[in-house]
Structure 1
Amino acid sequence: MIRAIAVDMDGTFLDENGEYDRVRFEQIYAELVQRGIRFIVASGNQYYQLKSFFPEKDDELFYVAENGAVIFHQGELRSVNRFAEELVHKILRTLIQEYQDLQVILCGVKSAYLLKAANPDFKAFAKKYYFELQEVDSFDVLPDDTFIKFALDVEVAKTGQIVEDLNQTFAGEIRAVSSGHGSIDIIIPGVTKGSAIQQLLNEWQVVPDDLLAFGDANNDIEMLQLTSNSYAMRESSPEVLAAAKHVAASNKEAGVLQVIEDYMKKSQRS
């Protein structure tokens, strides 16, 4: 019996325009609440951006943000995993010195940070995903924050090589993972959407196979591997399709909502 649902956002829950059918979801969500099924928003994005998609539900939903580095509920930080400050400096030096055309966002709990000298197009892109965003002159002196992730923008064709290079350079200290479309996240080893969701399931005394999970990119793999009720979106990467037990219609066809509706209809008949 499904007792929790976890959804990635971009490429999964959200359509190609970064939206979802709000009326349809409200009908579904009302039934989830009635059945006591918890809803988890699991994304590489910032909490402050994620909650904007669900106005008036901040007290109800659980947000696994920044690829599992933080968990928010009822507007409060429930859990955080942080990089050591010395390692933050080391990573920034490497990124800035060795990857000249790479764009960097340093993600903290309070805000995200990018350089004032960053590409204007990248700044516009960053503002779409980071509702709390500050520009800084340099990263030589770090802002007063707890640092949980690095978000990089690279040429799509170079993504795989840069991920491999970073994981070799910082072996055991970081994990670089593609989050699709030329985006790379640098995260804390062992800290994933899957590990954060497992933490919530343990707290709720819910077994993993009572979780329904949806994703499309490689940063969703650990979440999908948790449960036999895992769905890769039709246009997912090959690795994600291999990790999931099932395939859902694409995000352009509201595949997540289709699967949830089908599940609820079947459970009513059984």
Structure 2
Amino acid sequence: MKYRLIALDVDGTLLNDDHVLTEKTIATIQEVHDQGCHIVLCTGRAPDSTLPLLQQLGLEGTMITHNGAATVYADERGLTLVNEFAFTVPEIEPMLNYVRREAIHFDVCTSFNMYIERISDYEKQMYKKFLITPKLVTSVSELGLPIVKYTLFSQPDVLDRVQQDWEEQQLYGHLRMIRSGDLFIDVMNPIANKGNALKTLASSLEIDPSEIMAIGNYFNDLEMMDFAGLGVAVANSPEGVLQAADVITSSNNDEGVHEALIKYCLSY
């Protein structure tokens, strides 16, 4: 097999719009794995909400989580932190003041936990969909813990305004602000991305980039798609992601991951 490692984005790529992992996709991933290929889920999710999907695939191994900010190994003993790119809460205090004033929902994440200051039924449904159980605290400013990701959740027009304001004011300072979905903005360590995490992992496994295929659907997938020997975009990706990809597969609702694995890994 040409590819020794397959990096898979989860939401909008591996899962369909109903957040379902289809049986056909599971079977194809298992076949690729059984032929000696590493399967690595690369997601904006936390480890706890990624692990059930790895288990559904019947696999153990490394997961790149929090958009590359935390790499975790999962086996029968549980979760072990392999690497993280962290920052401190004081570094995001200007942005915290902004979202509190504007009543925009946010959470902050350590590698293994998520913290929020308030929650409505709308946010509860979102967290339920992503298999997340956040911890409610009075103020995240008092946590005193290393943070790997700070996320805003709101409607696209609200986040468009936030993105413009923060860029004009350089409110995120030396940190990195990315749009990880229509409804999400993430702020992270400037070197934290899926590409850098994948590069570190590949080096530890002695796998050349030419032996890696990465499949994604959004702008937070671009670095890993660029690092991989073959960068694949599912058809439901935004135009900028489609243009950046080496090849395009079917959409997440049409089992694009299954199609790409059949075409580029299992065809003889």
* Structure-1-length-normalised TM-score: 0.89
Instruction: Report whether the alignment pairs 1:10 with 2:11.
Output: yes
Contact 1:81 1:191 in 2 (8 A): yes
Specify the code of the residue in structure 2 equivalent to 1:157: D
Instruction: Report whether the alignment pairs 1:104 with 2:69.
Output: no
Q: Counterpart in 2 of 1:84?
A: 88
Shift of 1:42: 0.5
| Cα distance in 2 for residues equivalent to 1:26 and 1:232 | 19
What is the DSSP-based 3-state SS (H/G/I as helix, E as strand, rest coil) of the residue aligned with 1:219? helix
Contact 2:95 2:172 in 1 (8 A): no
Q: Counterpart in 1 of 2:238?
A: 237
Specify the code of the residue in structure 1 equivalent to 2:82: R
Matches within 5 A, 1:121-270: 121-129=122-130, 131-142=132-143, 145-168=145-168, 169-170=170-171, 172-266=173-267, 269=268
Query: Which whole-Å deviations, capped at 9, do the CAs of 1:77-130 have from their partners, x for residues lacking one?
Result: 101111124214343223323xx13110111123101113x3331133123325
| Cα distance in 1 for residues equivalent to 2:7 and 2:195 | 10
Contact 1:48 1:132 in 2 (8 A): no
Contact 1:110 1:145 in 2 (8 A): no
Closer/same/farther in 2, CA of residues 109 and 55 from structure 1, 3 Å limit: same
What is the DSSP-based 3-state SS (H/G/I as helix, E as strand, rest coil) of the residue aligned with 1:36? coil
Contact 1:68 1:191 in 2 (8 A): yes
Is there any run of 5+ residues in structure 1 with no aligned partner, and where? none
Contact 1:127 1:133 in 2 (8 A): no
Q: Counterpart in 2 of 1:19?
A: 20
| Cα distance in 2 for residues equivalent to 1:237 and 1:182 | 14
Structure 1 runs of 4+ with >6 Å offset: 56-59
| Cα distance in 2 for residues equivalent to 1:157 and 1:171 | 19
Closer/same/farther in 2, CA of residues 58 and 108 from structure 1, 3 Å limit: farther
What is the DSSP-based 3-state SS (H/G/I as helix, E as strand, rest coil) of the residue aligned with 1:54? helix
Contact 2:216 2:234 in 1 (8 A): yes
Query: Which whole-Å deviations, capped at 9, do the CAs of 1:51-71 have from their partners, x for residues lacking one?
Result: 112327687232100010100
Specify the code of the residue in structure 1 equivalent to 2:97: R
Closer/same/farther in 2, CA of residues 174 and 165 from structure 1, 3 Å limit: farther
Query: Which whole-Å deviations, capped at 9, do the CAs of 1:225-265 have from their partners, x for residues lacking one?
Result: 11241111112112211221111100000001111012233
Q: Counterpart in 2 of 1:36?
A: 36
What is the DSSP-based 3-state SS (H/G/I as helix, E as strand, rest coil) of the residue aligned with 1:16? coil
Contact 2:48 2:132 in 1 (8 A): yes
Contact 1:59 1:73 in 2 (8 A): no
Specify the code of the residue in structure 2 equivalent to 1:181: D
**Alignment coverage as a number of residue pairs:** 262
Specify the code of the residue in structure 2 equivalent to 1:107: C
Q: Among residues 91, 94, 112, which one is paired with 2:98 in the alignment?
A: 94
Query: Which whole-Å deviations, capped at 9, do the CAs of 1:166-187 have from their partners, x for residues lacking one?
Result: 2442355211111223211112
Contact 1:6 1:212 in 2 (8 A): yes
What is the DSSP-based 3-state SS (H/G/I as helix, E as strand, rest coil) of the residue aligned with 1:189? coil
What is the DSSP-based 3-state SS (H/G/I as helix, E as strand, rest coil) of the residue aligned with 1:265? coil
Contact 2:5 2:211 in 1 (8 A): yes
Specify the code of the residue in structure 2 equivalent to 1:46: A
Closer/same/farther in 2, CA of residues 91 and 161 from structure 1, 3 Å limit: closer
| Cα distance in 2 for residues equivalent to 1:16 and 1:136 | 31
| Aligned-residue identity in percent | 22
Q: Counterpart in 2 of 1:47?
A: 47
Contact 1:112 1:130 in 2 (8 A): no
Specify the code of the residue in structure 2 equivalent to 1:112: M
Query: Which whole-Å deviations, capped at 9, do the CAs of 1:18-37 have from their partners, x for residues lacking one?
Result: 01113x24432333233221
